[in-house]
Chain A
Amino acid sequence: MERLSDDEVLEGYFAAGEAKDRAACVEALFRRHYPKVVSWCLRFAGNRDEAYDLAQGVFAKAYRHLGSFRRESKFTTWLYAITRSECLNHARAQKARRGDVETALDEADELVDDARPGADEALEKAASAREVRALLDRVLDETERRVFTLHYGEDVPLDAITRLLGLSNTSGAKAYIVRARRKLERALRSADVRDQAFDL
């Protein structure tokens, strides 16, 4: 069974008449994907025991729902969807447990041009998510965008992002956030200077 593709093992699983044959297929299929799921869970959780809990949840869910897997995507894609969901739920629960310290830190570090607060507020309301997305796309590099997406889009804690993306610099994802926000600030200031010049 080791030489069969995922699709072929799944064929065997769905065609099997006896429980022991289905069990053999499940075990063979899961065994080949333990490294992926375990690595992912270790990076999200940051410690062995929580990672074990997470990985166990992933395979329990995969086992429960395998019968309804429609095989419209690759098995690994389906397994990733489960892993992603388990890990994100874990990250959100962990964040809720320990309080939103990172948010407080971020808010203290807002990119504000305090010289013109009135104008800022009016313009802030006008700033659409689409414009900010375009700015992020234009100003940030790919790693900074990944860090931003995981942190602000998915609520993944910075230490988990550091491990997940294999960031080996001293401050990990936090350094990317700080650097990216400075880049955004510079981009906004230069846009402001241009606008003032044209206003004249």
Chain B
Amino acid sequence: MTGVMRIDEDTLRAALAPSPECPGFEDLATFADASADARDRRVAAHVSGCARCRAELDLLAEFEAASPRPEEELPARWITARLEADVARMTGAASEPARATAGTARATAEQEAAARPEQPRSPAMDRAARRWNMRAVLRPAVVALAAAAAVVVVLNLRRPPAPSLSPDAGAGATVFRSTSVTLVAPEGDVAQAPEALRWEPVPGAASYSVTLTEVDRTEVWRAEVRSPEAPLPPAVRARVVPGKPFLWQVTAKDASGDVVATSSAQRFRMPPSNPPVRP
């Protein structure tokens, strides 16, 4: 890097746009799905030095482990009930059990709507309803109901929109929160190789599976423990050298070995010991 450089919006956008060396998303996904020994070495080398591609892979891993957070559970149930009904209608020739499930979903959604008549409907919902209910709308009997519903919608549109999720819901310490298992330490830059990996206990968990990987997901170490802490063996600690980042992840299991919660992947590293000095 030479002298004073001005980093403005455009410079950052250019730097964080995919570079010519970045693999396309499909190649990156293939890389993510492959076992460690079957991965393309060229892609692995690129990923280890590309913040953008690493972020993409981390987001994919987050998606794999995603489930509604406590504050998302109510809206998630509401959406899921509607999706089940939508998909049953979309597939058309739904099987009986599927029809029953869809019926239950619709009933749940309808009960919920009846229980909360103050809940407004957004234009987005109405567009969605129009897309999915076209056949029903064509039936004369339903046309009358649709007209009545339209009146309700118009009245409801005058009400304020549904409350947004708070960006800082669950405020607390500045942490990168996991989906279910909350990882405690290490995180980010650490002064020395950590002696142990620590996380918050998960209710109902009988054991934890801990995995330490390199950023390209090559496994470095794995352990099964009963307490929310896994001491790192000296041989593993010796591999934590300045400048080399690692990811770690925890899966909580119940007494029968079934997964009850999974964390996101958390990164840590010892920063490079000395910045390079140019002659």
B161-187: which residues lie under 8 A (CB-CB) from chain A? 161-165, 167-179
CA distance A51 to B162 in the complex (A): 12
CA distance A24 to B32 in the complex (A): 29
A68 CB, nearest partner CB in chain B, Å = 14
CA distance A172 to B170 in the complex (A): 11
Contact B128 A152 (CB under 8 A): no
A122 CB, nearest partner CB in chain B, Å = 9
Chain B minimum-CB-distance residue to A170 = B168
Query: Within 8 Å CB of B14, what residues of A?
Result: 129, 132
B55 CB, nearest partner CB in chain A, Å = 4
Q: Mark A117-161, 1 if CB is under 8 A from B, else 0.
A: 001110110110111111111101111011011101100000100
A60 within 8 A of B: yes
B87-102: which residues lie under 8 A (CB-CB) from chain A? 87-88, 90-95, 97-98, 101-102
B219-270: which residues lie under 8 A (CB-CB) from chain A? 245, 264, 267
Q: Mark A56-70, 1 if CB is under 8 A from B, else 0.
A: 100110010000000
Contact A142 B87 (CB under 8 A): no
Contact A20 B83 (CB under 8 A): no
Contact B125 A168 (CB under 8 A): no
A9 within 8 A of B: no
Contact A194 B277 (CB under 8 A): yes
Contact A49 B124 (CB under 8 A): yes
A8 within 8 A of B: no
Contact B60 A77 (CB under 8 A): yes
Query: Within 8 Å CB of B62, what residues of A?
Result: 164
Contact A74 B94 (CB under 8 A): no
Query: With A24-B95, A31-B84, A127-B5 given, is the CB distance from A39 to B67 under 8 Å?
Result: yes
Contact A132 B15 (CB under 8 A): yes
Contact A72 B83 (CB under 8 A): no
A45-59: which residues lie under 8 A (CB-CB) from chain B? 46-53, 55-56, 59
Contact A133 B64 (CB under 8 A): no
Contact A146 B94 (CB under 8 A): no
CA distance A121 to B81 in the complex (A): 56
Query: With A48-B78, A50-B122 given, is the CB distance from A152 to B12 under 8 Å?
Result: yes
Contact A46 B162 (CB under 8 A): no
Query: Within 8 Å CB of B177, what residues of A?
Result: 166-168
B86 within 8 A of A: yes
A23 within 8 A of B: yes
Question: Which of A35, A41, A52, A146 is in CB contact (< 8 Å) with B58?
Answer: A146
A11 within 8 A of B: no
Chain B minimum-CB-distance residue to A153 = B16
Q: Mark A62-105, 1 if CB is under 8 A from B, else 0.
A: 01000000001110111011011000000000000000000100
Stretch in B35-43, B44-52, B142-150, B197-205 with 4+ CB within 8 Å of A:
B44-52
Query: Within 8 Å CB of A136, what residues of B?
Result: 15-16, 51
Contact A48 B55 (CB under 8 A): no
Q: Which of B49, B52, B162, B189 has the most CB of A within 10 A?
A: B52
Contact A48 B60 (CB under 8 A): no
B210 CB, nearest partner CB in chain A, Å = 18
Contact A110 B6 (CB under 8 A): yes
Q: Mark B45-82, 1 if CB is under 8 A from A, else 0.
A: 00001111011101110111011110010011011101
Q: Mark A1-36, 1 if CB is under 8 A from B, else 0.
A: 000000000000000001111111011101100111
Chain B minimum-CB-distance residue to A120 = B6
Chain A residues near B (Cβ < 8 Å): 18-24, 26-28, 30-31, 34-36, 38-43, 46-53, 55-56, 59-60, 63, 72-74, 76-78, 80-81, 83-84, 103, 106-107, 110-113, 116, 119-121, 123-124, 126-127, 129-138, 140-143, 145-146, 148-150, 152-153, 159, 162-172, 175, 181, 184, 188-192, 194-195, 198
Chain A to chain B contacts (Cβ below 8 Å), 21 pairs: A18-B93, A20-B95, A27-B88, A35-B80, A36-B63, A36-B67, A43-B165, A46-B164, A73-B33, A112-B8, A124-B5, A124-B8, A131-B1, A142-B267, A143-B176, A149-B16, A150-B55, A153-B52, A167-B176, A171-B168, A192-B3
Contacts A103-B9, A141-B189 known; list 12 others, CB within 8 Å. Answer: A19-B91, A19-B92, A23-B94, A34-B80, A42-B165, A106-B9, A110-B7, A130-B19, A138-B275, A159-B167, A167-B174, A195-B3
